Amino acid sequence: MEKHLELGLIGKNISYSFSQRYFEDKFKKLELSSYTYTLFDLDCIDQVDLLFKNPHLKGFNVTIPYKQQIIPLLDELSPEASKIGAVNTVKILSSGKKKGFNTDVFGFEKTLLAHKTQGHNAALILGDGGAAKAVKYILDQHHIPHTTVSRKGALNFDNLKSATVSAHPLIIQTTPVGTFPHVQDCIEFPFEGLSQQHLIIDLIYNPHYTKFIKKAAEKGSKTVNGYYMLEQQAEKAWEIWNLE
């Protein structure tokens, strides 16, 4: 009899997530009837202990707000997860140990290299959460200087000026503002600082076009959403779960 193998996603208010549909489609294509992918909507990170007791669990993805909170509950971290301080993929090793990885870095790097040009040589990162940490890691790997705009930082959404935006031709929006169902929400941002030379990457994938992306496109900027990054990080997670 084929062994039942379980994967899933932990997070909070994650019914909108694309992951379950993505992996269920993958299981069908690969004719893997023994696999299931479940959304584990947790009220607090402590509830993950129940998951770890599941003998069929092979691993899971991690999303907001648990990418950092999961770390103390793991036995090992991959080098990139350790450096970033955020985990979005957990693998249960054959030894029973729980190891954390960050596949957001892989997905973001693929997205960045698919769209950036030589002119995109200075970046502005909007937000300072777990996703922003993955972005910073990749920008550092490619020697692209970056500045962070955050709610409580010295540079914040209240004092960000259009001249600063103009001086940073690469803008990465990492906050959840504008995510479904709050599609009319948008961060405070001086869009007049944007130009046709700008590349805007918004990590949100639902909706496809956030209010932020639409406003940036009106200024002639090249815009990219988070869907390709999401696909690429999911494929990297699948690869991790299937390596021993």
pLDDT at 79: 95
Per-residue model confidence as pLDDT tens digits over 50-64:
999 999 999 999 988
**Could you say which of 3.40.50.720, 3.40.50.300, 2.60.40.10, 3.20.20.70 is the CATH number of the domain covering 105-229?**
3.40.50.720
Residue by residue, DSSP assigns 43-67 as SSGGGHHHHHT-TTB-EEEE-TT-T
Q: How far is CA 236 from CA 99, 181, 197, 239, in A?
A: 15, 28, 31, 5
Degrees to nearest 5, angle at CA 94 with 89 and 95 = 105
Cβ atoms of residues 71 and 87 within 8 Å: yes
Whether residue 236 has pLDDT greater than 50:
yes
**What gap in Å lies between CA 222 and CA 212, rounded to an integer?**
12
Please compute the mean of the pLDDT values over residues 2-9 and round it to a whole number: 86
Separation CA 17–CA 179 (nearest Å): 11
- Res. 131: pLDDT tops 50: yes
Residue 2's pLDDT is: 57
In this predicted structure, what is the pLDDT of residue 14?
84
Using CB atoms within 10 Å of the CB of residue 170, give its burial: 0 to 12 exposed, 13 to 18 middle, 19+ buried.
Answer: buried
Q: Read off the pLDDT of each residue in 112-117 and give the average, rounded to a whole number.
A: 96
Q: Known catalytic residue: 67?
A: yes
Could you state, in order of their start, the residue ranges of all structural domains in the chain? Answer: 5-102, 105-229
Rounded-to-integer distance, Cα 150 and Cα 154, Å = 8
Which is more confidently placed, 19 or 170? 170
**How far are the Cα atoms of 14, 30, 43, 145 from residue 68, in angstroms, in the given order?**
17, 32, 15, 24
CB neighbour list of residue 93: distance below 8 Å, 6 or more residues apart: 76, 99
Domain 5-102 homologous superfamily, CATH: Leucine Dehydrogenase, chain A, domain 1 (3.40.50.10860)
Summarised one tens digit per residue, pLDDT across range 170-228 is 999 999 999 988 999 999 999 999 999 999 999 999 899 999 999 999 999 999 999 99
* 5-102 against 105-229: fold identical: yes
Percent of the chain with pLDDT over 70: 99
Residue 180 is predicted with a pLDDT of: 86
Burial of 131-143, coded b for 16+ CB within 10 Å and e otherwise, reads bbbbbbbbbeeee
pLDDT at 1 over 60: no
- Give the active site residue among 26, 67, 116, 152: 67
Q: What's the average model confidence in pLDDT over 86-90?
A: 95
**pLDDT value for 244:** 64
Instruction: Give yes or no for a contact between 38 and 14, defined as CB atoms under 8 angstroms apart.
Output: no
Mean pLDDT of the chain: 94
